[in-house]
A = this chain, B = another copy of it.
């Protein structure tokens, strides 16, 4: 249970079986390739922690009932807001306040962690083809 994130059979075994409940963010990200489709990797009370890969521009939307946290793991993410852009690199996070319109855009591929209450729809009230199924999960 002490293997480094990037190596060893133990880590792989742990990712697949997850018996000990440890979540290695990069291991989870390695399990899928699609963009704009958040995957739930852990639950904290009535919140979910998700990993997501982003590339290109999303849709303008807002979440009327909740703040939304973006923590960039790899790459550079711009969160467009109506009054300016926020640029995030690895290890940087930003909370989009509830009700604030935003549109993420990633020039290259970006990996990020999101924290949201259970049941939040990724496109907020905007809908459309980028709306992700809510039951995608990479738990345990």
Contacts and interface: CB of A to CB of B under 8 A. Distances in A.
Total copies of the chain: 2
A95 B25 contact: no
Nearest to A98: B45
Range class of the A interface residue count: 35 or more
B87 A2 contact: yes
Interface in A1-51: 1-5, 20-26, 42-45, 47, 49
Contacts of A21: 86, 94-95
A85 B22 CA distance: 11
A136 interface: no
A48 to B, nearest CB: 11
Contact of A5 (B73, B92, B115): B92
